[in-house]
A and B are shown apart, each in its own frame.
Chain A
Amino acid sequence: MTANVRVQNDDFDVSREIAALRQGNPRVGAIASFIGVVRDLNDGDSVAEMTLEHYPGMTEKSIEEIITQARGRWDMMDALVIHRIGTLKPLDQIVLVVVTSAHRGEAFAACEFIMDFLKTCAPFWKKEQTGKGGRWVDARAADDAAAERWQTKA
């Protein structure tokens, strides 16, 4: 069992990352992944680029804790989280979550759980550049709700 958490400026190659995560493990029957990408529109304004800032140390620690929680809830094998920082443009990949498991149910659920908690707990902040200048993205109530629903749904 490994939990890989990486915060990096560089882009990532999804198929290479998945291949590395499941390499040589014939017990893996299901792999679920989520990829977040930069859109060119947010809150009605076109976004030219965004800059992602984070809290080094706490970021990795908080994501590792989220993965540990996921392990306690589902029969999953390995997990990988890569989150990019720095300046990104529309179409760029921002985040990758991959979970391996014996069966799809656990893989899907654990992947969604990790992503929902990453959105609300991991210390990252986005600043968008739009035609009106730079602006910090506001946290969304919908993201809190997405994380909270896991409190009652096992």
Chain B
Amino acid sequence: MITLLYFARLRETFGKASEEMEMPPGVATLEGVRATLAARGGVWAQELAAGRAFRAAVNQDIAGADTPVKDGDEVAFFPPVTGG
């Protein structure tokens, strides 16, 4: 299982702040997780389309498409940050 977290606009659009997900067979990177979620269709496909301006973190470090993801990891998706 991995823990998925969503923040700000993505949290509102997806209608949830977090969920647990079984790692699908063969998925080992952030890109794999993104594609799995986008395959749900609807807002998931829209917001997590490749090339959309979202950011992701694995275990609280900013991550890229190739970042490894394994069982037990915390994976977060969120819009570009706007603090300060």
| Interface residues of A, Cβ cutoff 8 Å to B | 36, 52-55, 57-58, 61-62, 83, 94-95, 115, 118-127, 136-140, 143
Contact = CB atoms under 8 A, between A and B. Distances in A.
A121 to B, nearest CB: 7
Interface residues of B, number: 18
User: Chain A binding site: helix, strand, loop or mixed by DSSP?
Assistant: mixed
Contact of A121 (B60, B79, B81): B81
Contacts, number: 73
Interface of B: 5, 7-9, 11, 53, 57, 60-62, 76, 78-84
Contact of A125 (B57, B60, B76, B83): B83
A139 B9 contact: no
Contact of A124 (B9, B53, B82): B82
Nearest to A97: B84
